[in-house]
Structure 1
């Protein structure tokens, strides 16, 4: 069985971020790049204000990863996908 351990960047930040600036910087850069990517996807969907949606989707991703790691249940990804569809619909005004 696959062991779910969460996000490597969040884990590294949690362990070393307070004492290692390079680790903190790498974790922050990764999370910023993820938000930027999601914002670009929202922009491609013609979302009027893509930045808030990108940030919301990034939180869903981190929450799903953390929930799956803590509970050992991969259903968090499916629940996050459903929530993402609601957020995208709301951002589109649907």
Structure 2
């Protein structure tokens, strides 16, 4: 089937196709996980900064490293998207 969108990867100079493993690894790095965190479970120094807020929202990368801790879920999602990341809820 001929289409104006049909082309070979060799038609684009300097561009190489990603194999399945590379594409998967790239997608995994872009996904972040948003989950609620009870303030009581946080270290004392963090709790001292939070005040009376009972629940915060953590943004974690695929390896589980905490990237951010914010005071509401919408902010967590907005923050991730501003950094070109794809947020996913975790319960």
- Asked if these proteins are the same fold (TM beyond 0.5), I'd say no
* TM norm structure 1: 0.22
Q: Which has the higher strand share?
A: 2
Q: Which has the higher helix share?
A: 1
User: Based on CA coordinates, which of the two structures has the bigger radius of gyration?
Assistant: 2
* TM norm structure 2: 0.22
